[in-house]
């Protein structure tokens, strides 16, 4: 699996609920922090409406924007 860098655009691999907001698979986000060389990431996700949410995700939960 490719390691992502800060500011990379990514998409969710599967549905996610974060802070009570549901994000569908394919939701776009931007990596804001990288943990342990790419084992985990903080990703700012764009919800369908409202304020972006920052979620802590594992590498297998995101993929590059194709």
Residue-wise over 18-44: b if at least 16 C-beta within 10 A, else e?
eeebebeeebebbbeebeeeeeebbbe
pTM for the predicted model, two decimal places: 0.89
- Has residue 8 got a pLDDT over 80? yes
- Has residue 12 got a pLDDT over 60? yes
Rounded Cα gap, residues 18 and 9, in angstroms: 19
| Coil vs helix vs strand at 6 | coil
pLDDT of residue 1: 52
């Amino acid at each position: 699996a490719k390691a992502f860098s800060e500011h990379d655009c990514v998409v969710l691999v599967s549905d996610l609920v974060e802070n009570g907001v549901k994000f569908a698979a394919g939701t776009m986000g931007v990596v804001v922090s990288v943990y342990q060389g790419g084992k985990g990431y903080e990703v700012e996700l764009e919800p369908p409406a409202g304020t972006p949410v920052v979620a802590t995700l594992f590498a297998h939960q995101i993929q590059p924007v194709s």
